[in-house]
Structure 1
Amino acid sequence: MPDSAELLSLHVVVEFVVMAAIVALLVPLDAAIPFLPLAVALAFLVVLYLARS
């Protein structure tokens, strides 16, 4: 069973992915483009952290 730190990290990743999807759908694409790579990078960093621990 995963510990609370892993569950929190997973929650953060899901939150960023969902928020990026909402921003991509609701905001014009020209305004949303700078935020999408940031959300992907943060999700990738959390996944890397989980893989190392």
Structure 2
Amino acid sequence: MTDSAELLSLLVVVEFVVMAAVVTLLVPLDAAIPFLPLAVVFLVALYLYRS
């Protein structure tokens, strides 16, 4: 079982990725561009965590 700090970190990363996806869909792309690089980094981290 994962410890609470790891679980909290995982939830924060998932929340950021989901919110970045929602922002990307709802606002113009010019405003969403600053979120995309960090979202990609977090997606890679989630992928590596799961594998």
Pairwise same-fold verdict (TM > 0.5): yes
> Could you tell me the TM-score, scaled by structure 2's length?
0.71
What residue ranges of structure 1 are gaps of 5+ in the alignment?
A: none
Structure 1 runs, 4 residues or longer, greater than 2 Å off: 38-41
Q: CA deviation at 1:37?
A: 1.3
Count matched residues.
47
Q: CA deviation at 1:34?
A: 1.6
Structure 2 equivalent of residue 31 of structure 1: 31
> Could you tell me the TM-score, scaled by structure 1's length?
0.68
Q: CA deviation at 1:39?
A: 3.4
Q: Percent identity?
A: 80
What residue ranges of structure 2 are gaps of 5+ in the alignment?
A: none
